């Protein structure tokens, strides 16, 4: 199954949405507590927008293509399958990413603290990114 998903993941990486690019700029290069995120990752037969494999955290950015009843049901089934494999999922709308990126990154930071207590709250007093 992953072989058939590899070209799909590659295409999604090369054609990221504006919201995905904006979130990627906030999480790449270990900017949040030294945790590494990857984008358009194949996990358990699905391509997820972003994943921190160490923390088993998935970030999804939902645009207009996630608004119909069928799409919402597919997202729920996908989330259930990934959660059953011990992954946590945070979903954000395009609007969240465009208008509240600091809040989105803070939510990610807090979830990482919850999942991996090695993160110390004091390390992040200045915001989502650790001090240089």
- The per-residue pLDDT for range 78-131, each reduced to its tens digit, is 999 999 999 999 999 999 999 999 999 999 999 999 998 765 554 544 455 443
Q: Which CATH class is domain 2-123?
A: alpha beta
Model confidence at 65, pLDDT cuts 50, 70, 90, reads low
Rounded to the nearest integer, the mean pLDDT of the chain is 84
Q: Which of 14, 25, 19 is nearest to 65 (CA)?
A: 19
pTM, full prediction = 0.81
In the chain, what percentage of residues exceed pLDDT 70? 83
Q: How far apart are CA 31 and CA 21, in angstroms?
A: 15
Model confidence at 67, pLDDT cuts 50, 70, 90, reads low
pLDDT, residue 119, reads 53
Residue of higher predicted confidence among 131 and 65:
65
């Amino acid at each position: 199954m992953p072989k058939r998903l590899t070209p799909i993941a590659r295409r999604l990486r090369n054609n990221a949405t504006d919201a995905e690019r904006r979130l990627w700029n906030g999480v790449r290069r270990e900017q949040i507590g030294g945790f590494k995120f990857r984008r358009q990752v194949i996990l358990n037969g699905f391509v997820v927008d972003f994943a921190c494999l160490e923390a088993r955290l998935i970030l999804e950015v939902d645009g207009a293509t996630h608004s119909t009843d069928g799409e919402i049901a597919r997202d729920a089934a996908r989330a259930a399958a990934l959660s059953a494999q011990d992954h946590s999922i945070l979903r954000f709308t395009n609007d969240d990413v465009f208008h509240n990126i600091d809040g989105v990154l803070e939510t990610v930071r807090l979830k990482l603290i919850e999942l991996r207590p090695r993160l110390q709250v004091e390390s992040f007093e200045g915001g989502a990114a650790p001090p240089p």
